[in-house]
Amino acid sequence: MCDVLNVEEIFASKVFTVAKMRERLPKNVYKEVKKVMEQGGELSLAAADVVAKAMKDWAVENGATHYTHWFQPLTGITAEKHDAFVTHPDSDGKMIMEFSGKELIKGEPDASSFPSGGLRATFEARGYTAWDITSPAFLKEDATGVILCIPTAFCSYKGEALDKKTPLLRSMEAVSQQALRIVRLFGNTEAKKVVASVGPEQEYFLVDREKYLKREDLIFAGRTLFGAPAPKGQELEDHYFGTIRERIGAYMKDLNIELWKLGVTAKTQHNEVAPAQHELAPIYETANIAVDHNQLVMETMKKVAGRHGLTCLLHEKPFAGVNGSGKHNNWSLGTDNGVNLLDPGDTPNENVQFLLVLACIIKAVDIHADLLRQSASDVGNDHRLGANEAPPAIISIFLGEQLEDVVKQLIETGMADHSIHGGKLLTGVSTLPDLEKDATDRNRTSPFAFTGNKFEFRMVGSADSIGSPNTTLNAIVAEAFCEAADVLEKAEDFDVAVHDLIKKYLTEHQRIIFNGNGYSDEWVEEAARRGLPNIKSMVEASTTLTTEKSIKLFEKFGIFTKAELESREEILYENYSKTINIEALTMIDMAKKQILPAVIKYTKFLADTVVTVKSAGADASVQSEELAAVSAKLAEAKKALAALEEKTAKAGEIASEKEKAFFFKDEVFAAMAALRTPVDELEMIVDKTVWPIPTYGDLIFEV
């Protein structure tokens, strides 16, 4: 018999939830905490002391020995420094575990080794972590023991953001304030805030750990830098939604349990398009919690994989020739009294508030397409966006038939008097129900698609934090709301003014709407005609952070200062160069120490064979041909290796981070590709038993 899993019982068992606070805190303190959570402001130190004690007691009851301020520096992952609850023993030598309000609210990790992009000189080591009271504390359990993790924001001594969390929280406040102005115009006097909600669908690969450990490229770069395609790829589409194999199923089950305990609403799981690729989607939550939870999802995916003899690859493109991984960032806005601003209702043509919100988003995305593109860029995502694979690097919006039709009516006649309806889907089988159809089909090729009551930003990289995309989304939409509210609050006749404004926005920004095939070459040309930016790489995208337009936007809403933006741009260049440098060095290492020596041995074997066969008086022409072919590719590989070494060394000499990053992109990256080609060709002609590393077939079909 299998054990019955009580999901309701284990859910959030490792989280210091609001319910636990209600239970464990004196009423007045609980009320104070709730107030700060809902309305912002600061917790008094007296209250913080009480909360800290309750939190510590709960944590210790659950086996915790340490606490940590858990934060998200600009490395893109999370950071933690553990402190035991241990205190100085009294005169009897007895020690009491303690945790104060001050320790809860503020931490001071040495910040000097985190990326700051010049915001801080190395001698200014101070950085502060501040408790994000809106994201619950949780327990992390691993070989270290049980650690109480307190989600925090991370800032420099001067208050500059050094993390992904601080700007996100700032952007959430900005969009809330501006969205409130919009809903007030439509008579909603009750809402106190508007909350950005996010549901990220996370894609990932699983490979066998033993095989993973035999590939330096997977270990150091998280992706294969060499590898000929297996005879079979994803062409049969037999993996997508396919039956989940036992080993993977056991992994998914374990992963879900761990996530549920952490309060993550892991909901959907399935096999993805590429062999060995899978997806997990949680239910959406408030943006900052979703960002925290997505970090936990990624971390837990890796941790649980180890227990199953697997390794989880979150890289955007672990394998050439099959699909890479992304993260679909579903995003919406809702008032705290339950109105989803992106819900069109049955008759969107009559829903003026929705149409205004939609028009504002269309305008925001058109004006700041470059920033949105930037927010989804990371080194690995360069292999997807605008490269061999979808989604394209061009931002466009998919509205679907129904909304596109409403928008068309509004632009053409200034009036929208009807909405297309989905109608019934007739199954043609008497025993099957006929289904209500959605008014719109899906479009898998759009980077920014309206999906019923939310937008799905499909460009985000699988390994990346979703902090930046959501910060940018909130910021650009806050700006559009602000500009609309500025006009409408002053309008004499609101109905006329709002109508005119919607028409104006839609007319001026309709070029960003595209319902066709975003993967096609025609779209690339069409987009160019429309003047839409097509930013092909992460380093090019990074330059958009410090344009006048960007600085104006982010400074206006207090999300980033100019200095913060400059520092972030600098960090992106550094990060790009370092990553490509590691990849290049890994390729050099593998080529020099593993692949070329194996091929050289193989040529000796062939040469010996030729001699032996000939001396036996037989025809050795096939063996000679093989030898010639392998030797020719070997020479090519050797030459390409030398070129890569030279380029990589040269890159290291460039002083400017920006120039260096561009050099890595244009020169080193190209040299890497030039080395990969002959090596992959060699893999196709060399005896498999002498090939020194597991092949694509081994890696993605035999998990």
If one asks whether residue 454 binds ligand ADP (CB under 6 A), the answer comes out as yes
The reply to whether 633 sits near Mg ion by the rule CB under 5 A is no
Min dist. Cβ of residue 345 to ligand ADP (A): 14
The two beta strands, 64-70 and 145-156, are: parallel
Q: What angle do CA 474, 475, 476 make, to 5 degrees?
A: 100
Size of the site for ligand ADP (CB under 6 A): 16
Question: What backbone torsions phi and psi does residue 436 show, to the nearest 5 degrees?
Answer: -70, 130
CB of 400 to Mg ion, least distance (A): 14
CB 252 within 8 A of CB 222: no
Please give the sequence-ordered ranges of beta strands (E in DSSP) within 102-255, or none if there are none. Answer: 106-107, 127-131, 138-142, 145-156, 194-208
Of these partners, ligand ADP, Mg ion, none, which one is at the site of residue 664 (CB under 5 to 8 Å by kind)?
none
Specify whether the CB–CB gap between 513 and 397 falls below 8 A.
yes
Cα 519 from Cα 388, distance rounded (Å)? 10
Choose the binding region for ligand ADP from 402-410, 452-460, 470-478, 685-693 (rule: CB under 6 A).
452-460
Comparing CA positions, the residue from 150, 140, 144, 3 lying closest to residue 62 is 140
Please state the closest distance from residue 93 (CB atom) to Mg ion, in A: 59
Residue of the chain from 115, 199, 324, 678 that contacts ligand ADP (CB under 6 A)? 199
DSSP for 663-676 reads HIIIIIHHHHHHHH
Exactly one of 96, 283, 487, 622 binds ligand ADP (CB under 6 A); that residue is 283
Q: Please tell me whether residue 331 binds ligand ADP under the rule CB under 6 A.
A: yes
Contacted entry of Mg ion, ligand ADP, none for residue 19, CB cut-off 5 to 8 Å set by kind = none
201 contributes a contact to ligand ADP by CB under 6 A: yes
Residue 88 burial by CB count (10 A; 0-12/13-18/19+): exposed, middle or buried?
exposed
Binding residue (CB under 5 A) for Mg ion from 328, 368, 373, 633 = 328
Whole-angstrom Cα distance, residue 567 to residue 552? 16
**350: amino acid identity, one letter:** E
- 28 exposed, middle or buried (CB, 10 Å; 0-12, 13-18, 19+)? exposed
Mark residues 67-106: x for contact with ligand ADP by CB under 6 A, - for none.
Answer: ----------------------------------------
Handedness of CA 678, 684, 689, 695 (dihedral sign): positive
d(CA 621, CA 613): 10
Q: Closer to ligand ADP at the Cβ: 329 or 468?
A: 329
Question: Which range of residues in 36-44, 76-84, 191-199, 558-566 is near ligand ADP by CB under 6 A?
Answer: 191-199
Query: Whole-number minimum distance, CB 323 to ligand ADP, in Å?
Result: 16
517 binds ligand ADP (CB under 6 A): no
Q: Could you give the CA distance from residue 122 to residue 411 in angstroms, rounded to a whole number?
A: 55
DSSP states of 376-411: T--TGGGGIIIIISSSPSB--EE-HHHHHHHHHHHH
Joined tokens for residue 621:
């022409």
Choice from 78, 330, 474, 567 touching ligand ADP (CB under 6 A): 330
Residues 537-576 that bind ligand ADP (CB under 6 A): none
Amino acid at site 334: G
Among 48, 198, 360, 502, binds ligand ADP (CB under 6 A): 198
284 binds, among Mg ion, ligand ADP, none (CB under 5 to 8 A by kind): ligand ADP
Choose among 197, 168, 194: nearest CA to 456: 197
Count residues near Mg ion (CB under 5 A). 1
The residue (of 456 and 540) whose beta carbon lies closer to ligand ADP is 456
Q: Residue 453's binding partner, choosing from ligand ADP, Mg ion, none, with beta-carbon cut-off 5 to 8 A by kind?
A: ligand ADP
294 contacts ligand ADP (rule: CB under 6 A): no
What is the number of other CB atoms lying within 10 angstroms of the CB of residue 338?
8
Q: What is the DSSP letter of 620?
A: -
Given the complex with ligand ADP, which of 266 and 395 has the nearer CB atom?
A: 266
User: Beta strands 455-457 and 448-450: pairing type?
Assistant: antiparallel
CB 457 to Mg ion: min, Å: 10
Binder among 65, 75, 188, 340 for ligand ADP (CB under 6 A): 340
Nearest in space to 591 (alpha carbons), one of 669, 667, 683: 683
- Site map (CB under 6 A) of ligand ADP, residues 224-263, x = contact: ----------------------------------------
197 binds, among ligand ADP, Mg ion, none (CB under 5 to 8 A by kind): ligand ADP
Judged by CB, which is closer to Mg ion: 56, or 328? Answer: 328
Which tokens go with 409? 């009516």
* Count of alpha carbons within 13 angstroms of residue 662, beta-carbon side: 9
Shortest separation between residue 328's beta carbon and Mg ion, angstroms: 4
Residue 446 C-beta: closest distance to ligand ADP, Å: 12
Which residue among 281, 385, 410, 596 contacts ligand ADP (CB under 6 A)? 281
Instruction: Provide CB contacts within 8 A for 498, sequence distance 6+.
Output: 185, 352, 356, 488, 491
Q: Are 93 and 172 in contact (CB under 8 A)?
A: no
284 interacts with ligand ADP by CB under 6 A? yes
Using CB atoms, what's the residue nearest to Mg ion? 328
Contacts with Mg ion by CB under 5 A lie at: 328
Contacts with ligand ADP by CB under 6 A lie at: 197-199, 201, 281-284, 330-332, 340, 451, 453-454, 456
